[in-house]
């Protein structure tokens, strides 16, 4: 067990969680286009970018895991997504677009992020 990696996950996770909470205080809506959707999609994009960039750049494992598992894991939220899905289901018709957009756009955002991160990393390598 590497304590540096555990510390990186803990610190970055706390920061990611605080950033998400601040966004939730700033953006409040009962509509399915809400802060959880924004956070989860932007977190998926960011995780993709970090994955594409850091794997090619061969950064230290504790940095990669700290940013990916820690920050992105703390920033995004599956449990809130699940709870809001049930709340929207109980309201009526908003659950289907919320779940569909969250799932498909999240995967697409991560894929785009991996492409962006890989592209930027490869471009940086050719300049060095």
pLDDT of residue 54: 85
Yes or no: say if 29 and 88 are a contact pair by the CB < 8 Å rule. no
Phi, psi of 29 (to 5 degrees): -155, 150
Domain that holds residue 7: 3-127
As a whole number of angstroms, the distance between CA 56 and CA 58 comes to 5
Total domain count, the chain: 1
Question: Using one digit for the tens of pLDDT, what is the confidence trace for 22-43?
Answer: 998 998 877 777 899 999 999 9
11: confidence class by pLDDT, cuts 50, 70, 90: very high
| pLDDT of 125 higher than 80 | no
As a whole number of angstroms, the distance between CA 128 and CA 118 comes to 16
The pLDDT of 6-20, averaged and rounded, is 96
The pLDDT of 5-27, averaged and rounded, is 94
Helix and strand counts by DSSP (H, E) for the chain? 7, 0
110 Cβ contact partners less than 8 Å away, ≥ 6 residues apart = 44, 45, 47, 48
**Confidence (pTM):** 0.86
pLDDT of residue 43: 95
Whether 74 has a binding-site annotation, put simply, is no
Question: Using one digit for the tens of pLDDT, what is the confidence trace for 66-124?
Answer: 999 999 999 999 998 999 999 889 988 789 999 999 999 999 999 999 999 999 988 87
Whether 76 has a binding-site annotation, put simply, is yes
pLDDT of residue 32: 74
Tell me which residue of 65, 71, 125, 77 sits closest to 102, measured CA to CA.
77
pLDDT of residue 1: 66
Phi, psi of 48 (to 5 degrees): -65, -45
């Amino acid at each position: 067990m590497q304590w540096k990696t555990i510390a990186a996950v803990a610190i970055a996770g706390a920061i990611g969680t605080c950033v998400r909470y601040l966004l939730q205080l700033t953006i409040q809506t009962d509509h399915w286009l809400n802060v959880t959707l924004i956070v989860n999609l932007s977190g998926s994009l960011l995780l993709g970018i970090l994955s594409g960039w850091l794997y090619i750049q061969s950064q230290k494992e504790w940095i990669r895991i700290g940013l990916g598992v820690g920050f992105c894991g703390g920033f995004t939220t599956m449990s809130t997504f699940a709870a809001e899905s049930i709340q929207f289901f109980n309201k009526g018709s908003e659950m289907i677009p919320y779940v569909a957009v969250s799932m498909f756009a999240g995967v697409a955002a991560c894929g785009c992020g991996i492409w962006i991160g890989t592209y930027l990393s490869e471009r940086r390598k050719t300049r060095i």
